[in-house]
Structure 1
Amino acid sequence: MTNFSRTQRIRKDVVWTDGGVVACQHRKAAEVGAAVLASGGDAMDAAVATSFAVGVVEPWMSGPMGGGMTTLWRAGEARAETIEFGMRSPAGLDVADYPLEPGRQAADLFPWTRVQDDRNILGATSVAVPGTVAGMALAHERYGTKDWADLLAPAVALAEEGMQLDWYSSLLIASAARQLAQDPDAAAMFLADGQWPDIAGWTTAATARLDQRTHAATLRRLADHGAQDFYDGAIAGMLVEDVRAKGGCLSLDDLRAYRAQAAMPRTIHYRNAVIHAPSGLSAGSELVKTLQQMEAAFLPGEAPTAASYGALASGLGAAYRDRLAHGGDTGESPRAPACTTSFSVVDRRGNMVNVTQTLLSMFGSHVVSPQTGMLLNNGIMWFDPEPGKPNSLAPGKRCLMNVCPTVGQVGDRMFAIGASGGRKILPAVANLVSFMVDFGMDLEAAFHTPRIDASGATGTVMDEDLPPDVAEALASLGPVATAKRTVHPYAFAVPAGVMREAGRNCGATEIMSPWGDAVHEGEV
């Protein structure tokens, strides 16, 4: 039994508009993207601007030092595409530097055998080659209409000002204070005398801000000199110097060799809908498997039932077992060919995009690059440290990500959705696709409907608001636990989505996210 209120109900309004919409996990970043749309920019222009802005106002979730994917829809051509910008392990990585502790399980997102001193999770030894800047540059090159520097300018301004430290940011920093204190530069940025920030009292307004001026200077150089500076210029030099000084093996050659790529998504017909799941080393393959199993397992009705939730849990379980056994970069065409942040954009012409980008863990490696002012990723944690598996740790290898940016069409409705939350991402996207396709829900209804999560190694977690017959159906598959949707921690993933119908648009974010919001271009 929890201590939380059992009568409290939280909702978010979904507003329809003729203009474009940005749905993001931080309203400030959504406003940046909406302003780009209001100025006549393409959905991809807004996505690029939002990407860099959210890396400032939610720096522990994503940013230029991370990686991810985007799945997009070009309305004029009726064409979907995925842009892959996942991380890679450095070519100089030595597996011997990650000795195992047999019999002990890793303490973070994945059920790997623990590595001594958590070297694959914390510190510079956990840093992989970042891809976000290359991904945004490729997206801009292919679809952008606004100047690159102009799209980065709002993020520069936000970093100059410094993100505001309120109760929610203080809560998140406090949850990682012990690890942040191990890195002097992270401690200097996020902590006060080794403790979480001293913000205003609980009944007064917060006024404290992070000092992100170095972050701003790096963004300004990136705006002025272009994305290549991150991979073969001054920024690259600073990044490599900082990582190596802290014990990592990232090299200039790793950065120079990095390329983002555009690819065809995994497109399937699911009932009367067309679903475009992401390509590459994402959770797209598992989404396809889950939906295919669900289609054969039950017939849709007016609302989700014990049968539909059971079919979803069964499909997710089978997909995850296959992923753990076969997923990874094998050097061939792959079978799948955390925190994180996810945002979706639709413009007035109907172009859509979901971007899911991440440092992997919240606060990534818990290490800050002092010369760039940015948190570094811990992408090495995506690899299984045990040898002999498709996803085993090795040098120069692509990371098997959990991201699942998805575009779908059912009838005359189009939607773009994604989520943050590590292994919880796939269940959230599968829940939402089912709600909208199987039961005809619009975005507002789907985002308020209780979900299940079947991403753990054993059993299922179900929203405590679901009826007993759902628990009974899930119990036939394995252990069942109930959980409440709360602000922290999240028992379920944190989605963001947009929808278009009859020429009008709307957006929605996770109802429990205190920062998340959908902003339309008429609001800025």
Structure 2
Amino acid sequence: MDNFSNTQTVRKQVIATRGGVVAAQHRRAAEVGAAVLEAGGDAVDAAVAVSFAIGVVEPWMSGPAAGGCMTLWRADTGQAQVVDYGMRAPLALNPADYPLAQDGRSADLFPWPRVVNDRNQQGATAVAVPGVVAGMALAHGRHGRLPWRDLVLPAAALAEQGMIADWYSGLLTASTAKALSLDPDAARMFLDDGLFAIVEGWTATTQRHLDQKAMARTLQQLAAEGADAFYRGGIAEALVRDVQAKGGCLSLDDLAGYRAEWAEPLAIAYRGGRIHAPPGLTGGPTLAAALALLNEGPPPPPGGPGAASSLATARALHAAFDARLRGMGDHDSPRAPGCTTHFSIVDRHGNMAAVTQTLLSIFGSRVVSPSTGLLLNNGILWFDPEPGKPNSLAPGKRCLANYCPVVGEAADGRRFALGASGGRKILGSVLQLASFLVDHGMDLEGAFHQPRFDISNNQRQLLADQALPAAVQAALAAEFTVTPVRRQPHPYAFACPAGVLRHSGWNTGCTEIASPWGDAVAERLPG
């Protein structure tokens, strides 16, 4: 039961182009990436520019103090590649500093036992070693065509102007205002009078902007001095000083010792095509397990997803999540999805990038470094605070993440890059979208407008888009507890995907249709 219209429809237009396309969770970041493609940049150049730009205009999701993963397709070599730049626990982290409370569970993303004073999710004690800058630098060093400086400065210009505070940013900020008010620097950046979300009246036609000038200076320094400034230079010194002053243990040695890594992607044969996913402590192995289960069954009948194919997908996801929970240390979680960003890019030559980045919780640790203007992650929340578990807290340990950026191709030669934000909801979204494209032959517009479901809590509970046909909902309800929900911008019942597709030299892009900011932007071609 809700208050919303049943006759309103929401659609996003998908237009094919011979030029490159950037699909991102924020239109202005996508425009920055499209301008890089117009200037002759590679898909990786555009990814670097979008990564830094989206950290300005969607700061509660990502930023230089975040972590993530990138899956690439190189048209010249016909090979996929992965850049892993996930977060790590600081070397000085002491699990004893995160004592368990007498009772209760975490009120955030994971139902871990609650830690005294929420030290693993809120404040500087929750900050892990960030990897975004190192990941972008590693990819750019191998594939970049344009100077690093030219890719970072557009983000600095956006920060100098300040993010536009509109109704959507006001809604997201209001949901976390109490937590943000506990850190004076976060309150100063995001709140009015240190208490209230920054938003104009409901009839206002004027605009307000966040004060991100400190972040602009950091990005200008990063543009001029390169990634080393973040890990070994002046930015590193300022960041460590601020985190330690607020009680965290991040050190100069943590930053200097951090390395992003190239990784061999998982190559998953599927229905005459192939999907490349990240390996290791990501959603990739779980996606591979679900696709393998689907591959064992018969191909779906012609037409769109019906009752039988939807039920097969739900069964595969349920089984894959069950294996993940038992073997990788994740937990059952019916809570809100992680606050992440995803963008997908294809350039005019067919090179692709699928990139997912995250601060983990919305607004990360809810702490701002005043010297750098950066909102900090709360990556320590990824670890189980209870000792003796597969994913328990430990110094220097890599975080187990849910992100799953993929590139793939269908049997008919169509190639795509996909990913999503949304914590554990990401896997189901990526799997279903890939199935829509590969199994059902949909174009990108059809796939993104197709209703989906989510079964990520592993308790045989399934959230179904109420727009799914009655026969599909009935088939799912025969084996799972189905709750029909509305697809809307807040809260997200499903993940928030972005994707691009290439076929016969034509490129398209699309983002989650319920997202008011997400958009696909094409480069402007000469003439």
Q: How does 1:82-97 map to 2 (within 5 A)?
A: 82-97=82-97
1:348 equivalenced with 2:348 (yes/no): yes
SS of corresponding position for 2:389:
coil
Structure 2 matches for 1:149-160, cutoff 5 A? 149-160=149-160
Distance 1:95 1:281 in 2: 21
Query: Match of 1:322?
Result: 323
Partner SS, residue 68 of structure 1: strand
Question: Which residue of the partner structure matches residue 106 of structure 1?
Answer: 106
* Residue 28 of structure 1: how far off its partner (Å): 0.5
Aligned partners of 1:371, 1:204: CA distance in 2, in Å? 33
Q: Which amino acid aligns with 1:310?
A: L
**Whole-angstrom CA distance in 1 between matches of 2:318 and 2:206:** 43
Counterpart AA for 1:109: L
- CA shift digits 1:387-417 (9 cap, x unpaired): 2122111111000111000001012200000
In structure 2, what residue type is equivalent to 1:447? F
**SS of residue in 2 equivalent to 1:511:** coil
- SS of the aligned residue for 1:434 comes to helix
* Equivalent AA in structure 1 for residue 502 of structure 2: R
TM-aligned CA deviation for residue 199 of structure 1: 3.1
Shift of residue 385, structure 1, vs aligned partner: 1.4
Q: Which amino acid aligns with 2:149?
A: A
Instruction: Give the match's secondary structure for 2:23.
Output: strand
Distance 1:307 1:97 in 2: 50
Is the counterpart of residue 386 in structure 1 residue 390 in structure 2?
A: no
Cα distance change of structure 1 residues 473 and 100 upon mapping to structure 2, 3 Å threshold = farther
* Contact map agreement 2:65 2:130 (CA 8 A) in 1: yes
In the other structure, the counterpart of 1:465 is 467
Native 8 Å contact 1:298 1:311 kept in 2? no
Structure 2 match to 1:334: none
Residue matched to 2:61: 61
Once the 2 structures are TM-superposed, how far is the Cα of residue 375 of structure 1 from its aligned partner? 0.4
In structure 2, the residue corresponding to 1:149 is in which secondary structure? helix
Task: Report the CA distance between 1:204 and its aligned residue.
Answer: 2.9
Correspondence for 2:307: 306
Larger mean Cα displacement after TM superposition, 191-200 or 240-249 = 191-200
- Letter of the structure 2 residue corresponding to residue 480 of structure 1: V
Compared CA separation, residues 206 and 512, structure 1 to 2 (3 A): farther
User: Does the CA contact (< 8 Å) of 2:70 and 2:83 recur in 1?
Assistant: yes
Query: Once the 2 structures are TM-superposed, how far is the Cα of residue 298 of structure 1 from its aligned partner?
Result: 4.4
**Residues 432 and 446, structure 1, Cα contact 8 Å, conserved in 2:** yes
CA contact (8 A) 2:19 2:525 kept: no
Q: Is the 8 A contact 1:67 1:358 kept in 2?
A: yes
1:429 matched residue in structure 2: 430
1:165 touches 1:206 (CA, 8 Å); kept in 2?
A: no
CA distance in 2, matches of 1:388, 1:433: 37
The residue type equivalent to 1:499 in the other structure is L
Q: Report the counterpart of residue 335 of structure 2 in structure 1.
A: none
Counting matched residue pairs gives 516
Equivalent of 2:489, from 472, 487, 490?
487
Structure 1 residue 378, shift from structure 2 partner: 0.5
Give 5+ residue unaligned stretches, structure 1.
330-337
Rounded to whole Å, the distance in 1 between the matches of 2:156 and 2:71 is 26
Identify which range, 457-466 or 20-29, moves more after superposition: 457-466
Task: Give percent identity, aligned residues only.
Answer: 60
Aligned match of 2:514: 512
The one-letter code sitting in structure 2 at the alignment partner of 1:177 is: A
Using structure 2 for the length normalisation, give the TM-score: 0.96
Q: Distance in 2 between matches of 1:309 and 1:179?
A: 39
Please, which moves more after superposition, 380-389 or 417-426? 380-389
**Does 1:414 pair with 2:415?**
yes
What residue number does 1:332 align with?
Answer: none
Whole-angstrom CA distance in 2 between matches of 1:203 and 1:502: 47
> Aligned-pair distance for 1:506?
0.7
Q: Deviations over 1:66-118 (max 9, x none)?
A: 00000000001100011000000011111111112365222122222222222
Tell me which moved more, 445-454 or 465-474: 465-474
- Of residues 318-327 and 285-294 in structure 1, the stretch that sits farther from structure 2 once superposed is 318-327
Q: Quick one: distance in 1 between partners of 2:298 and 2:228?
A: 50
Displacement of 1:432 after TM fit? 0.3
In structure 2, how many angstroms separate the alpha carbons of the residues matched to 1:298 and 1:168? Answer: 43
Aligned counterpart, 1:373: 373
Residues 194-247 of structure 1, C-alpha deviations (whole Å, 9 max, x = no match): 333443322332410000000000011111111011111111111111111111
Give the 5 Å matches for 1:4-83.
Answer: 4-83=4-83
Supply the distance in 2 between the matched residues of 1:86 and 1:163 (Cα, whole angstroms).
26
Partner of 1:497: 499
Matches within 5 A, 1:391-406: 391-406=391-406
1:469 Cα shift?
A: 2.8
Structure-2 residue corresponding to 1:335: none
- The change in CA–CA distance for 1:381 and 1:198 in structure 2 (over 3 A counts) is closer
CA distance in 1, matches of 2:413, 2:205: 45
Equivalent-residue separation in structure 1 for 2:259 and 2:329 (angstroms)? 18
Change (3 A) 1:222 1:171: same
When structure 1 is superposed on structure 2, of 307-316 and 502-511 the one drifting more is 307-316
State the superposition RMSD in angstroms. 1.4
Write the distance in 2 (CA, Å) between the matches of 1:320 and 1:206: 47
SS of 1:507 mapped into structure 2: strand
State the secondary structure of the residue aligned to 2:360: coil
Shifted more, 253-262 versus 451-460: the winner is: 451-460
2:328/2:391 contact within 8 Å kept: yes
